[in-house]
Structure 1
Amino acid sequence: MTEEALKERKEGLLALMEDPSYVPMKLKELSMLLNVPRERREELKEVLDALIADGKIVLSKRGKYGRPEKKILTGTFSGSSRGFGFVVLEGGQQDIYIPADQTGDAMHGDKVQITAEPARAGRRPEGTVIRVLERANETLVGYYQKNRHFGFVIPDNQKIATDIFIPEGEDMGAVTGHKVVVRLTSFGGTRKKPEGRVTEIIGHVNDPGTDILSIVKAYGLPEEYPPEVMEQVSRIPDEVTAEEMQGRKDIRSWQTVTIDGEDAKDLDDAITISREAYGYRLGVHIADVSHYVTENSPLDQEALRRGTSVYLVDRVIPMLPHKLSNGICSLNEGTDRLALSCIMDLDFQGRVLGHEVAETVIQVDRRMTYTAVNAIVTDQDPNTMEEYRDFTEMFALMKELADILRERRYQRGSIDFDFPETKMILDEKGRPVEIRPYERNAATRIIEDFMLMANETIAEDYFWQEVPFLYRTHDTPDPEKMKRLGLFINNFGYTIRTQQGEVHPKEIQKLLKKIEGSEEEALISRLTLRSMRQAKYMPVCSGHFGLAAKYYTHFTSPIRRYPDLQIHRIIKENLHGNLTEKRLSHYDKLLTGVSIQCSATERRAEEAERETIKMKKCEYMAKRIGREYEGVISGVTNWGFYVELPNTVEGLVHVSSLQGDYYLFDESRMELRGEMSGRTFRLGQKLRVVVMGTDKLTRTVDFLPAEEENRED
C-alpha cells in the first residue's frame, strides 16, 4: 500500500469514527460496514494498526476499534511569545502541549479545562483548550501604538502572544510610545484579537521611571495603603512605652548589634553572643511586629495581601508602612525596642543544648554594616578595629561560632549554590551606571548562619509541640530530573548515587565539591540547580532538602515576610498559654490559605525583581554596543545559546547569527554542534562575545561570538 493510499484510508476511517453515531466495532463488523471483502481484511487491519501506533484510535480488551476517550483535565495555561502554550495540570501530572491554533481565548495564567490526546511515541501529549474557568488578566500593561482610527497595545508580558485591539475613543488620548494600563473588554479567540480600553497612561517609554512603574503595574504590586490602614498606623506610638515593657525579659544590658547592608533601613534582627563554660550563648532577637500588627486588623489584612516586601532596583515596596518598617519595628541603634528572642545554648561542636523563646526588651548598642564587620573579622583592618574596639571581641566570637555551625551543616549535607546576585548602581534619574555581582563575605555568612540556626531551632520546637505552624519546605528533587542529570554528568566522568529514584542532599554536595574549580563547574552547577524543586510555605513539616534540615521555618524577618509574622503570633499565644482548642482549630483552618497566599506573593515578588533587573541590564548594555567581553555560556537551546558576563548580564547568541554552518541542538549534552565543522557551543564554555544590540521592550541583549563579528568585517 502506497503512503498516499494509507493516508487516504486513515483519514476515511478517522472521519467515520468521529461520527457521533459510530460505536466501537470488531474487525469483522467494521469490514462489513465498509464493504471490505474477507480477503482484504488484512489491509484494513494494517491501516487500523497504523492509526493505533499514531495514538489516533484504540483497541479495547474485547477487540473493538474506536476513538480514545478524551478526558477533561484542569490546569493553568502557560503561554509563549510564539502563540503555543502548555497547561500545567493540577496534581503534578505531565504538562500538556497546546498548539497555537488550539489555545482558544486562553491567556497566560488562566485556569483552563482541556481535552488531551494520548502521547505519541517520543512526543508529549497534546491538548485543546475547551473552556477558561478563571481569568488571570483582567488588566494588562503594554506599549501603545496608534493608527488612524484605532490603536493597539503590545503587552509587556512576553507570554501573551497577541496584541490588544483598542477601538476609537477608548485610548484616553494615548499616543504611540506611551506605556499604558488596558482593561480587557473581550478576550477574543482563534480568529479575533482581544479588545480593551486604556484606563491609565503610565508615561512615555523614554520618561525616567516609566519602565519600573510599568512593571509595578503589570505585576499588580500595591503602591498605596488603604485609608483604614494608615488610620490604624497613626494610632501606633513612635516609641516603646513603659507599660509595653511590663512582663518582658529585659536584656537591654546585653551587648547587642545589628549587622546589615549600608542602605538597609528595616532592621529586624539583632545579635547577642557570649562564651560560656559549656560553649556559647547565642541570642537572635527579632522585631516583635505582631505586637503592633494585630490579627485580622486592616494592617494585618493588607500585610497578608502583600505577603512580602518587594525590592526593586530603584525602590522598595514594603509589606508594612514606613512608620513600622523603618520606625517602631526597626531595631535602631540606641532605642528601646520590643523583640521576640530565641536564646540558644550551644556546645563547642555547635549542637543546641537548650533554648529559650521569650518576649524581650532590647537596645542595640551599634548598627554595624557587613563591610565594617568583614574588615574586622577577615581583613583585621587596624582603623576599623580601632573604631569598633569595644566590639571586636564579640565579632571574633561570632565568626568562631558561625564557622562551627557552617561546618556542622556541611557535614550533614547542606547544599550551598554560590551564584552571584546582581548589585546595581543607579544615578539620580534611575539610569544604571554600574552593574556588578553582589559579593557575599564573612559578615553576611555570619548572619546567614545565625538566622538559619534560629529558624531550625524554632521549627523543631514547634514541630514536637504538635502546634499548628507554618514551615518553609523544600521537597526532594523530581526523580526523573535527577535521572537526566545523572546521565548528563556521566559525559564528564561524574556520578550521582540515588536510592529508589531519590537522592540525598549530601550526594549533591559531593558533586558540587568535585567540580569546584573545573571547566565544567558553571555548567553542572546550573543544571543541578535547575533540577531542584522550588521552596514553599506549608502547614506541614516535610523538611528542607537544600539545607539537609528535618525542621525549618521562617522566623527572622517579620517586617518583610508575612509567614514570619504569622508564626510570631502563634509563638506568643503559646508563651501566654492561650492556645486553647478553639485557637488551635482556628489556626488549623487558617494556615493552608496563608501558605498558598505567601508562596504566590513570594513568586510574584521574585519575578518582578527579576524583570526590573533585566530591564536595567538591557538599558546599561544599550550604551555598550560594539564592546567585547568574555563570558560563560549559561544556557543552550535549539534557537541559540545564552552567555553570562562577569557583571551578571546575560545575552543571547541566536543560532541564525552563526555564519558558515548549520547548528544542531543536542539536548543530552546541552550543546549546539556545527554539522560540517563540528564546532560546539556548550553550557559552561568560556567565550568572547560582542554586544550587537538590545531591546528594552523584550528586555533582551543580543551577543555575537567575537570571531563571528570579525569574520563579518
Structure 2
Amino acid sequence: MSDIDHEQILEFFRQHPERPWHVQDVQKRLTIEERDGLQQVLGDLVDDGRLIRTRRRTYGLPQEMNLVIGKLQVTSGGYGFVISEERDVKDLFVPAERLAGAWDGDKVVARPNPMKSDDARQSGEIVRILERGHDKVVGTLEYAQGYAILRPDSVRLRERILLVPDSVGKLEAGMRIVGVMIWPEASGERDPFAEVVEVLGLADDPEVETRAVIVKYGLKDAFEPDTVAEAEAVPPTVDAEMQAGRTDHRHVPTFTIDGADAKDFDDALSVERLKGRGKAQLLRIGVHIADVSYYVAEGTSLDREAVERATSVYLPGQVLPMLPEQLSNGICSLVEGEARLALSAFVDVTRDGEVKDVMFAETLIESDARLTYEQVQEFADGGRLPPGKLKLERDIKVLLDLTQALRAKRIGAGSLDFDFTEAKVDVDEQGALHLTPVRSNSARQLVEELMLLANRLVAHEMHKRDIPALYRVHEDPSVEKIQVLQKALQRLGYQVELNDAKPQDLQKVLQQAAGKPEAQLVNTLLLRSLKQARYSSENLGHFGLAFENYLHFTSPIRRYPDLVVHRVLRAMLQHRLSPTLKERMRNDFPKLAEHASQRERLAEEAERDLSKYFHAVWARDHVGESFTAVVSGVTNFGVFLALPNGVEGLMHVSQLDDDYYLFLEDQLMLMGKHTRKRYRMGDRVDVKILSSTPVNRQIDLLPAHMDMPEVDADEQVKPEKAPKKLKTPVGATGPTPATPVKAATGRGRGKRSGEAKPPETAPGRDARAKGA
C-alpha cells in the first residue's frame, strides 16, 4: 500500500460514481496487491464519512446514495439541522424523534426524506453518528430519585445526564462540575452517562464560570512545556544577526494606537511626505506589522500549538493567547522605545486616498510613542496629544484626514457600514466589573482603514503573482435570503429591487435608514441576510467590504492565518517560492483554512458566552432599576431589548398584561389584539430589570410602569440533597484510571494581555461587515 494513499482511493470513487464498488473490484482496477491494506484504507474513509459501506459490503460516495454528511446543530426545542460539509447543499431539518441518539455538535450521516413537509421544508433522519462533538460536558450537579445528575449548561444538550456514583463522592448539589461522556457506542448501553472529572466550584462565581467556558469550548489556558521552553529560548532583544538584510526604518517617527489596556502591539504606523502640496501631495504611509514568522518556525512546538489554537481568545478578565506571553507581549510586541523586526507595507497615496504604489519589505523599526484610542480621539475632537507626544500631532492629523477619505471611498464603492453598539466587558485586577458601550469613532477608524488597506494590498499582490495564500472571503448572499430581505424591506416602506444584489445596493438601504426609527431593524435584517466570512485557499472576494482581493495580514500575534500570510510574503521577498513549495502550500491551505474558520467561530462563541454571564452579573446588581431600552429582537414568546450600555434582556410576553399579543413573524412584530399596540425592532421602551440568573445567561425585564412582584419564599425550589446511596446507571461500574477527578485550582482571572478585540460585526480593527 505504499504506492497509494487515501486521496487516491477517494479519487477513484469520484471518477467512477456510476455504482457502488466491491473491494475486489477496486483492487483490480487500481492494481493493488494487498487487499488487507486496501480494506484498511476503505475502513478509514468510511469512519471519516467520506465513503459509505452498504449492507452488501460495497462502497460508494455519500452524495451518490442520497446521504448528507455534516455537523448536527440541535435547537433548544429539541429538533436539529444537519449543516452539510458541501457548501452548495442546503441545511437538512431533522425532527427530534429522528435524531437517533445524535447530540448537538456530532458529525453525522443523514438521509433526506423524499416527501417535503407542509411548509416545503426538506426533512430527514440521522442514520449514523460518525464522530461525537462532546468529550466533556459542563453543568451543575443535581440529585433526583436516587441518581446523581449532570444538568448541562447548554440548552442544546439533553436535559440530564446520569453520573457514575463513585465519581461523585460527597459533592453537594449545586456544584459546577465537568463530566467526561461515556457514549452508547463505547458502553453498549442504550443511553449515555458520564463520570465527574473536574469540580469547578460553587455555582455563579466568576472564576468558576471562566473555567467552565474554557472547558465547554475546548480551549487551552496553559501551554505545553516544550512550547514554553522554545519561547523562553528566544532572545528578549533584537541582536545584530536578526537585523541582517533588513531595511532600517528607525529614523522615521513611528507609533502604535491601541486600547488603554493592550499589552500586545502587533501594528505600528508612520507617515512620510514625498512631494507635492494640498490634496495632490504624495504621502508614504508605513503599516508595520510585527514579524512573528521570524520567531515561530514551521514544525516547532510553538508552531504546532499556534496551529491548534489558531487564534487568541479574549475572554472578559482573561486572555488565552495564541502564542506564549514571552513572544506576544515581549519580543514580537512593538513596544515603545524598543527595536523590533517587522514586515512593512509602504503605501504611496495622495491625501485624498488615491493609491499610487505599494512596496513590501522586511524592516527594523522602533516605536516612538504608544498612543491610545482615547488620546487620539481627544486630539481629533480638538484637544492635544499628551506631553512628550506633541511632535506626532501633524502626522496624526494627516492620518485622520486620509483615513476619512479612504473610508468615504470604501463606503462609496459599496462596503457595508453597520451601526451597532457592543457592550464591552472589562474585569480589572481587583475583580471589579466594568461595562462600556463601544461605538466606532475617528480614532478607531484611523487604525481600521489602514489595516483594511494593507490587507487588501497584500491580497492583491498574492493574487497578481498567483501565489498561494489564505484569503479572507465573504461570499455573495443566497438568492433565498435576498428575497426574504426584499420582502421585509418593502413592508417597511423601502421600495428596492435587490435581484442580483451588489454591495452598493445594500449600502444604499443602510444610508436611507440612517437616523430613522427603524434603522436598528434595517441593520439587523441586512446582517441576517449575509453569509459568514471565513478563511479560504481560494480568492473568492469579500462581499461585505466590496473588495475583490482581501486577506488578514495585520495581526500575526493573535491570528494564525496572518502568520501564514507573513511566511508566504517573506518567502516571496527572499525569492524562496519554489514550485515545490507553492504546490505544498496549495495542498495544505484548504484544510488549514477550514480549521482556522472553525476555531475562530469557537472563540467568538466562548467570548460571547462569558460576556453574557458578566452582563447578567451586572443586571443582578441593578434589579428594580429603570432604563430606556431599544427593541433588538422580537419572537413569539417576547421581546428582546438592549439597554443603553448594550446589555440585552427579555421582556416575556407574559409580562405584557395590558392585552393579548400576536406575533407577526413576517413583520418581526408583537401587536396587541385589541389595543393594536406594537413592539417592533428599533422601538424605544421604558423597562426595569425584573431578575437575572447569570449561570443561565438570563436577564428578565418588565414594563417600567409595573410594580416589582413580591418573592414568595415557599415558591423557591430547594435542591434535593444527596441520598445515602446513589443508584448506578446501567452498565456503569465506576471511574476509570484515565479519568481522575480534579479539583479546581483556585487560579485567578489573570491579566489581560491585550485589548478584547470585538467580533468583526462590531467596531474594531477590521471592517464591520459580517465577519470581515
Does structure 1 retain, via aligned residues, the 8 Å contact 2:236–2:331?
yes
Shift of 1:474: 0.8
Check if 1:82 corresponds to 2:83: no
Check if 1:345 corresponds to 2:363: no
| Paired amino acid for 2:454 | A
Q: Secondary structure at the match of 2:649?
A: strand
Shift of 1:326: 0.3
Shift of 1:365: 0.7
Check if 1:258 corresponds to 2:261: no
For residue 114 of structure 1, what is the aligned residue in structure 2? 110
CA distance, structure 1, for counterparts of residue 529 and residue 371 of structure 2: 37
| Paired amino acid for 1:83 | G
Matches within 5 A, 1:239-318: 239-277=237-275, 278-318=281-321
Q: Report Cα offsets for 1:321-360 as digits up to 9, x if no partner.
A: 0000000000011111000001111124322211111100
CA distance, structure 1, for counterparts of residue 700 and residue 267 of structure 2: 42
CA distance, structure 1, for counterparts of residue 547 and residue 206 of structure 2: 45
For residue 144 of structure 1, what is the aligned residue in structure 2? 141
Check if 1:327 corresponds to 2:322: no
Matches within 5 A, 1:593-604: 593-604=591-602
For residue 193 of structure 2, what is the aligned residue in structure 1? 195
Does structure 1 retain, via aligned residues, the 8 Å contact 2:419–2:523?
no
CA distance, structure 2, for counterparts of residue 279 and residue 552 of structure 1: 25
Shift of 1:427: 5.2
Q: Report Cα offsets for 1:208-233 as digits up to 9, x if no partner.
A: 41111110111111111111111211
| Paired amino acid for 2:265 | L
For residue 357 of structure 1, what is the aligned residue in structure 2? 360
Q: Report Cα offsets for 1:47-92 as digits up to 9, x if no partner.
A: xxxxxxxxxxxxxxxxxxxxxx994332221112232222223334
For residue 230 of structure 1, what is the aligned residue in structure 2? 228
CA distance, structure 2, for counterparts of residue 418 and residue 660 of structure 1: 33
Shift of 1:275: 2.1
Q: Which stretches in structure 2 are left out of the alignment for 5+ residues?
A: 1-63, 276-280, 712-772
Shift of 1:387: 4.3
What value does the CA root-mean-square deviation take over the aligned residues? 2.1
Q: Secondary structure at the match of 1:401?
A: helix
Matches within 5 A, 1:581-592: 581-592=579-590
For residue 8 of structure 1, what is the aligned residue in structure 2? none
Change (3 A) 1:108 1:431: farther
Q: Secondary structure at the match of 1:215?
A: helix
Does structure 2 retain, via aligned residues, the 8 Å contact 1:431–1:616?
no
Check if 1:550 corresponds to 2:567: no
Pick which of 168-177 and 682-691 moved more: 168-177
Matches within 5 A, 1:413-492: 413-426=414-427, 428=429, 430-432=431-433, 434-492=434-492
Q: Which stretches in structure 1 are left out of the alignment for 5+ residues?
A: 1-68
Pick which of 315-324 and 116-125 moved more: 116-125
Shift of 1:185: 1.0
Shift of 1:251: 0.7
CA distance, structure 1, for counterparts of residue 386 and residue 557 of structure 2: 31
Does structure 2 retain, via aligned residues, the 8 Å contact 1:158–1:698?
no
| Count, aligned residues | 639
Q: Secondary structure at the match of 2:701?
A: strand
Shift of 1:238: 0.6
Matches within 5 A, 1:511-590: 511-590=509-588
| Paired amino acid for 1:105 | G
Change (3 A) 1:201 1:659: same
| Paired amino acid for 1:108 | D
Shift of 1:242: 0.5
CA distance, structure 1, for counterparts of residue 315 and residue 534 of structure 2: 21
Shift of 1:186: 2.6
CA distance, structure 2, for counterparts of residue 154 and residue 502 of structure 1: 47
CA distance, structure 2, for counterparts of residue 119 and residue 629 of structure 1: 46
Q: Secondary structure at the match of 1:170?
A: helix
For residue 38 of structure 2, what is the aligned residue in structure 1? none
Q: Secondary structure at the match of 2:411?
A: helix
Does structure 2 retain, via aligned residues, the 8 Å contact 1:255–1:364?
yes
Check if 1:125 corresponds to 2:122: yes
Q: Secondary structure at the match of 1:341?
A: strand
CA distance, structure 1, for counterparts of residue 640 and residue 710 of structure 2: 21
| Paired amino acid for 1:350 | G
Q: Secondary structure at the match of 1:697?
A: helix
Does structure 2 retain, via aligned residues, the 8 Å contact 1:333–1:365?
yes
CA distance, structure 2, for counterparts of residue 561 and residue 601 of structure 1: 10
Check if 1:185 corresponds to 2:196: no
For residue 407 of structure 1, what is the aligned residue in structure 2? 408
| Paired amino acid for 2:472 | R
Change (3 A) 1:325 1:379: same
For residue 397 of structure 1, what is the aligned residue in structure 2? 398
Does structure 1 retain, via aligned residues, the 8 Å contact 2:203–2:695?
no
Does structure 2 retain, via aligned residues, the 8 Å contact 1:288–1:329?
yes
Matches within 5 A, 1:8-27: none
Shift of 1:116: 2.9
Q: Report Cα offsets for 1:489-534 as digits up to 9, x if no partner.
A: 1122213333xx4211111111111111111111111111111111
Shift of 1:173: 4.2
Shift of 1:451: 0.6
Does structure 1 retain, via aligned residues, the 8 Å contact 2:176–2:199?
yes
Does structure 1 retain, via aligned residues, the 8 Å contact 2:109–2:127?
yes
- Kindly name which structure, 1 or 2, has the bigger radius of gyration based on alpha carbons: 1
CA distance, structure 2, for counterparts of residue 99 and residue 577 of structure 1: 56
CA distance, structure 1, for counterparts of residue 144 and residue 119 of structure 2: 46
Change (3 A) 1:109 1:440: same
Shift of 1:364: 0.7
Q: Say which of 374, 379, 386 aligns to 1:376.
A: 379
Does structure 1 retain, via aligned residues, the 8 Å contact 2:655–2:703?
no
**TM-score of the pair, normalised by structure 2:** 0.80
CA distance, structure 1, for counterparts of residue 709 and residue 240 of structure 2: 76
Pick which of 607-616 and 395-404 moved more: 395-404
| Paired amino acid for 2:327 | L
**TM-score of the pair, normalised by structure 1:** 0.86
Does structure 1 retain, via aligned residues, the 8 Å contact 2:690–2:708?
no
Shift of 1:111: 1.2
Q: Secondary structure at the match of 1:93?
A: coil
Shift of 1:575: 0.9
| Paired amino acid for 1:600 | Q
Which runs of 4 or more aligned residues in structure 1 lie more than 4 Å from their structure 2 counterparts after TM superposition?
Answer: 708-713
CA distance, structure 1, for counterparts of residue 626 and residue 687 of structure 2: 6
Does structure 2 retain, via aligned residues, the 8 Å contact 1:163–1:193?
no
Change (3 A) 1:350 1:172: farther
For residue 157 of structure 2, what is the aligned residue in structure 1? 160
Change (3 A) 1:427 1:460: closer
Q: Secondary structure at the match of 1:424?
A: strand
Q: Report Cα offsets for 1:1-27 as digits up to 9, x if no partner.
A: xxxxxxxxxxxxxxxxxxxxxxxxxxx
CA distance, structure 1, for counterparts of residue 167 and residue 386 of structure 2: 65
CA distance, structure 1, for counterparts of residue 423 and residue 568 of structure 2: 36
For residue 16 of structure 1, what is the aligned residue in structure 2? none
Does structure 2 retain, via aligned residues, the 8 Å contact 1:251–1:362?
yes
| Paired amino acid for 2:374 | T
CA distance, structure 2, for counterparts of residue 179 and residue 268 of structure 1: 38
Q: Secondary structure at the match of 2:119?
A: coil
| Paired amino acid for 1:319 | M
Shift of 1:176: 1.3
Pick which of 599-608 and 635-644 moved more: 635-644
CA distance, structure 2, for counterparts of residue 261 and residue 429 of structure 1: 19
Q: Say which of 673, 676, 680 aligns to 1:675.
A: 673
For residue 505 of structure 2, what is the aligned residue in structure 1? 507
Shift of 1:205: 1.3
Q: Secondary structure at the match of 2:632?
A: strand
